[in-house]
Amino acid sequence: MPSAVTRKTWMLAIATLVGVGAVTWLAGDERPVPRQAAAPSAAPALAEARMEAVRRWEVSPEDRQRVGAALPNDLRDAFEHVDDLYHYRQRLQASAEQGDVQSAWMASRIDDYCAGFAQDPQAYEADTRMIASLGQGASAQMAAARAHVGTRCAGFAGQGQVPQTATLLLQRRAAAQGGNLAAEAALLAMGQPLQASAAYRRDLVQRVRESRDPEAYLALSPAMGAMATGQDAYRGAVSGSQFTELAWQMAACRLGLDCGPDSALMTSYCANGGICSQDRTQDFPTFVMDAAVPRQGADTINNMVNSLVQGARSEGEGT
Q: How far apart are CA 145 and CA 142, in angstroms?
A: 5
Full domain range(s) for residue 28? 7-310
Question: Residue 167: its pLDDT value, please?
Answer: 83
Q: What is the DSSP letter of 226?
A: G
In-domain check, residue 316: no
What's the whole-model pTM score?
0.78
In-domain check, residue 68: yes
Give pLDDT tens digits for 262-290.
999 999 999 999 999 999 999 999 999 99
C-beta separation of 7 from 222 below 8 A:
no
Quick one: pLDDT band at residue 163, thresholds 50, 70, 90? low
C-beta separation of 175 from 104 below 8 A:
yes
Q: How far apart are CA 11 and CA 83, in angstroms?
A: 30
Question: Residue 55: its pLDDT value, please?
Answer: 41
In-domain check, residue 142: yes
In-domain check, residue 235: yes
Q: How far apart are CA 85 and CA 79, in angstroms?
A: 7
Phi, psi angle pair for 31, to nearest 5°: -90, 150
In-domain check, residue 1: no
C-beta separation of 10 from 275 below 8 A:
yes
In-domain check, residue 15: yes
User: How many Cα neighbours within 13 Å face the side chain of 42?
Assistant: 16
* 169 membership: H or E segment, kind and range: helix 165-177
In-domain check, residue 270: yes
Q: Is 239 left (phi over 0), alpha (psi -120 to 50) or beta?
A: beta
Question: Residue 118: its pLDDT value, please?
Answer: 92
Question: Residue 77: its pLDDT value, please?
Answer: 95
Give SS3 for 37: coil
User: How many Cα neighbours within 13 Å face the side chain of 200?
Assistant: 10
In-domain check, residue 319: no
Strand partners, 27: 31
